[in-house]
Amino acid sequence: MEATRRRAIRDGLLQSAGILVALALSAVVLLGMGVSPWEAAARLVGGAFSSPGDIASVLRTWAPVLLCSAGLLLTFSAGMWNIGIEGQVVMGAVCTTGALRLLQGVLPPWAALLLSALAGLVGGALWGALAGALRLYGNVNEIFGGLGLNFIANGLTVYLVLGPWGRPGSASTSGTEPFPRALWLPAFPGFDVSPYEVALGLLAIAAVAIVLRGTYFGLRLKAIGQSLRAAFLLGVPTASHLMAAFFFCGACGGLAGWVLVVGASTRHQLYPLISGGYGFLGVLVVMLANRRAGWVLPISFFFAAIAMGSVGLDSSLAGVIQGLLVLGVLFSQGLQRRYLPREEGS
């Protein structure tokens, strides 16, 4: 018990040390560019939190990252690198758009929104299951399978936007015909974020945290992630559980795609590259959180804030800082594995 706690504390300290090193490195980069790190930090925080509008935009960025991270917690726990999350977000957006095109004007807006959410969820889930099936039955590494499926999903978007779903008369890659305001998620007046999108993200994280902590499904996923062979020998149905992990991860990604179409302040249309890198950001978040659901909340919020705050800054800087942070933390995790092997019994 005591040893476990000591190890947890040690790992936490090392993780924080990695973040500090990364921040110091970012400061060096800023100094090299002739920018005062303090001023940059002030601008970052200011850009993210100086007005209600800024805070709203941080929250709007946060929601899809939360959804993607929730799904990825499942696949990461099972030891799978679901890089295909981007494509799953895209397919969610595609199915959402398809459903709305069919249902708008036919059903009342709330019903159309609800059904389109279901469509997005199923679209993402099936796209995720496809990555899982390729891995399990086609022996395609999930990283490469996922990349391939991402390309296909994006190609499909371009085809739809230019072709069958193009704007009448002037189809262009800028997107499909935007949906009317009735089909937007309602926002607070003057605070341009919908409570539904943030709540959905938080709900997804909470649900995944409960699943991982308290259910047989979560326990089995963790077992598979630690040792597929041992889990199989212990009698865990590994194939069905891996498929389920991909399916549910895709479902979360699909919901993120739904949010990106119907959210309070999005473009309310389908357009190429709609996933906007939120899926990849989710991968980084879950990696940094070391697969712990509790850590996902602050880390993803931090990334959302950096992304928004840097709008006022040189925007290339945000990418540099994000990259340094990720590399710093991963580097400290690597050092941990290399120099602090888990204590073995005597």
Partner 1 sequence: MRVELRDIHKHFGPVKANDGISLRVEPGTIHALLGENGAGKSTLMKVLSGYLQPDRGTILLDGKPVAIRSPAEGIAHGVGMLHQDPLDFPALSVLDNFVLGSPGPLFLDRRRARRELERLCAALDFRLEPEAPVSSLSIGERQQLEIVRLLWLGAQVLILDEPTTAISAQQKAKLFAALRALAGQGKTIVFVSHKLQEVEELCGPVTVLARGRVAGEVEMPCSPERLVRLMFGQAIATGKRAPVPPGEPVLELERLTVSDWRLEVRDLSLTVRAGEVIGLAGLEGSGQRLLLQACAGLLRPTSGRVRLAGRDLTGRPYRHFLEAGVAYMPGGRLGEGLIPGLTIAEHVALSERSRSFLVDWRAAARSAAERIRHYQIRGEPATPVEALSGGNQQRTLLGLLPPSLRLLLLEHPTRGLDLESTEAIWSLLDERTRRGTAILFASADLDELLDRSDRILVFFGGRVVEMDARTTTVEQLGERIGGRGFD
Q: Which of 164, 237, 294, 323 binds partner 1 (CB under 8 A)?
A: 237
Q: How many CB atoms lie within 10 A of CB 151?
A: 12
Q: Which of 81, 144, 232, 280 binds partner 1 (CB under 8 A)?
A: 232
Least spacing, CB of residue 227 vs partner 1, in Å: 5
Size of the site for partner 1 (CB under 8 A): 27
Q: Which is nearer to partner 1, 113 or 209 (CB)?
A: 209
**Would you give the DSSP letter of residue 292?**
-
Q: Which is nearer to partner 1, 174 or 240 (CB)?
A: 240
The span of 114-122, 157-165, 213-221, 241-249 binding partner 1 (CB under 8 A) equals: 213-221
Phi and psi torsions of 71, nearest 5°: -60, -45
Judge whether 67 and 89 are in contact, CB under 8 Å. Answer: no
Judge whether 22 and 327 are in contact, CB under 8 Å. Answer: yes
Q: Can you tell me the distance from the alpha carbon of 155 to that of 145, in angstroms, rounded to the nearest whole number?
A: 15
Q: Can you tell me the distance from the alpha carbon of 59 to that of 48, in angstroms, rounded to the nearest whole number?
A: 10
The answer to whether 295 contacts partner 1 (rule: CB under 8 A) is no
Backbone conformation region of residue 276, classed left if phi is above 0, alpha if psi is from -120 to 50, else beta: left
Q: Which of 49, 81, 191, 217 binds partner 1 (CB under 8 A)?
A: 217
Q: Can you tell me the distance from the alpha carbon of 141 to that of 11, in angstroms, rounded to the nearest whole number?
A: 30
The answer to whether 222 contacts partner 1 (rule: CB under 8 A) is yes
The answer to whether 220 contacts partner 1 (rule: CB under 8 A) is yes
Q: Which of 33, 42, 230, 335 binds partner 1 (CB under 8 A)?
A: 230
Least spacing, CB of residue 95 vs partner 1, in Å: 28
Cα-atom radius of gyration of the chain, to the nearest Å? Answer: 21
Q: Which residues would be at the binding site for partner 1 (CB under 8 A)?
A: 1, 3-4, 214-217, 219-220, 222-223, 226-227, 229-237, 342-346
